[in-house]
């Protein structure tokens, strides 16, 4: 998904073998989240690929008592689907946020909400903005990564 950090492991022509690292909530095997306890989507995987996800460790979130697994998966992707300058993506997304969300009301600082609160808040505003599915997802990820409980703008651009 857009905005997901990957580590390049190998190159073969136009293909790159990348590693995606993150967290899975127990019994939610097809989604990899960016942070433990946060619903910040990094990747979704098909049923045939679930068994390729490697679990590194397991923790219980003390706030929710939910079990989370730190995971990683290695996969091949086309290099045309990746960008090397994440800062440019986040700068674009910040501009998109300003343009889309300040039309009707004053712009809220991303640190106004917790990461998981941004899901509902943005969903409530979805009908008022004209973003395609990918733009909406990257905007949500930007807001979540810059939320009050994920380090705010100082940590994620």
Segment 111-156, tens digit of pLDDT: 999 999 999 999 999 888 889 999 999 999 999 999 999 976 544 4
Residues of the chain with pLDDT under 50: 154-157
d(CA 148, CA 115): 7
- What pLDDT is stored for residue 11 in this prediction? 96
**Going by DSSP bridges, is the β-strand pair 54-60/41-44 parallel, antiparallel, or unpaired?**
unpaired
- Judged by phi (left if over 0) then psi (alpha if -120 to 50, else beta), residue 65 lies in left
- What pLDDT is stored for residue 56 in this prediction? 98
- What pLDDT is stored for residue 103 in this prediction? 80
CB 105 within 8 A of CB 97: no
What 3-state class would DSSP assign to 122?
Answer: helix
| Tokens (6 digits) for 150 | 């994920």
Query: Angle formed by the axes of helices 133-145 and 115-125, to 10°?
Result: 150
């Amino acid at each position: 998904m857009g905005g997901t950090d990957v580590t390049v492991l190998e190159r073969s022509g136009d293909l790159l073998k990348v590693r995606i690292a993150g967290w899975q909530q127990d019994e939610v095997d097809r989604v990899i989240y960016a942070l433990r306890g946060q619903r910040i989507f990094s990747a979704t995987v098909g049923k045939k690929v679930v068994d390729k996800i490697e679990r590194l460790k397991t923790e219980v979130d003390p706030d929710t008592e939910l079990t989370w697994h730190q995971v990683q998966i290695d996969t091949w992707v086309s290099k045309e689907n990746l960008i090397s300058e994440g800062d440019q993506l986040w700068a674009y997304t910040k501009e998109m946020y300003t343009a889309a969300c300040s039309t009707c009301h004053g712009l809220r600082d991303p640190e106004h909400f917790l990461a998981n609160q941004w899901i509902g808040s943005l969903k409530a505003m979805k009908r008022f903005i004209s973003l395609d599915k990918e733009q909406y997802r990257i905007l949500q990820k930007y807001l979540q990564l810059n939320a009050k409980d994920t380090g705010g703008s100082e940590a994620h651009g």
